[in-house]
Amino acid sequence: MPTSATNYFDTVFAFDGSSTYTNITLEMQSPAGTSSTILADTNDVLYLGDASRFDMAIFDIDTAGSLGALIWEYYNGSTWVVFTPLSASHYTDPDDSPDTMFDFSKDGAETFPVGRLSDWATVAVNSATKYWVRCTSTTSVSTAPSLRSIRKRPLASYCSTQDVFNLMQLKNVTTTDGSGTDFTASTVPTKATVEQYIESAQSHIDFVTRKSWRPNFIHEEYHQFNLNGFHLDKAGGFKIFDLKIWNGSSWDSKTQGRTNDYFFVPDTNMIQFSRYFLLPARFTSYNAPVWRWGGGEFTMPVKVSYMYGRDIATDAREGGIVFDMARKLAAIDVARDSDFGNLAVSGMDRVQLPQKIDGWTQEVEERLDSLRAFETF
């Protein structure tokens, strides 16, 4: 399994805007623990930091916040730079209220496209040197949100750069004796480049298998209404953020729970309705079939937002296979794009590099075929 990829941030700070940093890392790693209040005043800052780059934060809200405009920033090596996270760039449904940036008013996820942080660099914040993004509510705070937990999605989720380094049995040229266990900013290729190779490998695995072993956010997915429920399009759903039904003029939000409107069954990836709905129809008549009127006559009247993706660390059946494929695909890119000279130590150099690449390629293709199986649920 991956040596360094985890589901939680290394360090999370709540800064009071003046001089005090409160370390809430342990609280944010323990969903059942004590929640923490953040962004209580307009100068307060939430810092999310990790030793490796990441591209998503998933927030579990305890107390819904009511905040003004949010500012997200990253450090580019010399200064903090404002950037636009993905939630502010989503397509806006013309029949709904305009979409806005994630605002801590309910559970949700914020995505940080790595292309918008291309010059992202580490910096020391309260003596902790990490890759950081930070968030501030600069205009107003009506209600400060409190959080149960914050999870991350590492850029390299299926394996780490260290896993690739170890597989290739490389020497580290940044040390005098060649010792070392990972790529760095000074190696060729750099750690950031190998992370890009891993990200490409992850996308290839997801595309071919039509599955995923990392958190993914579906902003809006539309379905026909069915009294028996419906199946989410993406396999491995694990958290429903929002479900709405079109009433003919606007979207009605429904409440999750068996004693409420609907519930989710992860084993079958199904949304089940807890009670019957009499949905509005474009027209009604006494001789209209009950099933047709009871199901409503609006096309695609259900809209759902959710997270999907299996946990590679706990998927005993396929997680290890995915990990091995990811590190070998990344190693193939490293080997093809870099001239190592004498950096390969005894072991790897006993087999010619082209033969090694061919062997890894064949192994990956065979394993991709085995994971491409049809699944009913």
How remote is the C-alpha of 209 from its chain's centroid? 18
CA distance 93 to 244: 12
CA distance 90 to 101: 9
Query: What would the DSSP string read from start to end of 137-156?
Result: E-S-EEE--EEEEEEEEESS
pLDDT digits over 115-132, tens only? 889 899 999 999 999 999
**What's the confidence (pLDDT) of residue 178?**
56
Does residue 308 register a pLDDT over 90? yes
pLDDT digits over 21-37, tens only? 999 999 999 877 789 99
pLDDT digits over 52-72, tens only? 999 999 999 999 999 988 999
The number of residues in the chain equals: 377
Does residue 277 register a pLDDT over 90? no
Task: Give the mean pLDDT of 285-298.
Answer: 49
Count of CB atoms situated within 10 Å of the CB of 339: 7
Q: Which residues have CB under 8 Å from 89's CB, separation 6+? A: none
Structure-token pair, residue 20 = 């005090």
**What's the confidence (pLDDT) of residue 290?**
45
**What's the confidence (pLDDT) of residue 347?**
44
Does residue 164 register a pLDDT over 90? yes
CA distance 189 to 187: 5
**Is the bond preceding residue 266 a cis peptide, omega within 30 degrees?**
no
Amino acid sitting at position 191: K
Structure-token pair, residue 210 = 């039509």
**What's the confidence (pLDDT) of residue 358?**
77
CA distance 331 to 164: 6
Task: Give the mean pLDDT of 292-304.
Answer: 71
Does residue 225 register a pLDDT over 50? yes
CA distance 34 to 288: 54
Higher pLDDT, 351 or 355: 355
pLDDT digits over 132-150, tens only? 999 999 888 999 999 999 9
How remote is the C-alpha of 324 from its chain's centroid? 21
Mean pLDDT, the chain, rounded, equals 84
Does residue 39 register a pLDDT over 80? yes
pLDDT band of 223, cuts 50, 70, 90? very high
Higher pLDDT, 284 or 299: 299
Distances in Å between the Cα of 5 and the Cα atoms of 8, 160, 198, 333 are 9, 6, 12, 20
Does residue 198 register a pLDDT over 90? yes
CA distance 166 to 323: 13
pLDDT band of 282, cuts 50, 70, 90? very low
Which backbone phi and psi does 152 adopt, to 5 degrees?
-125, 165
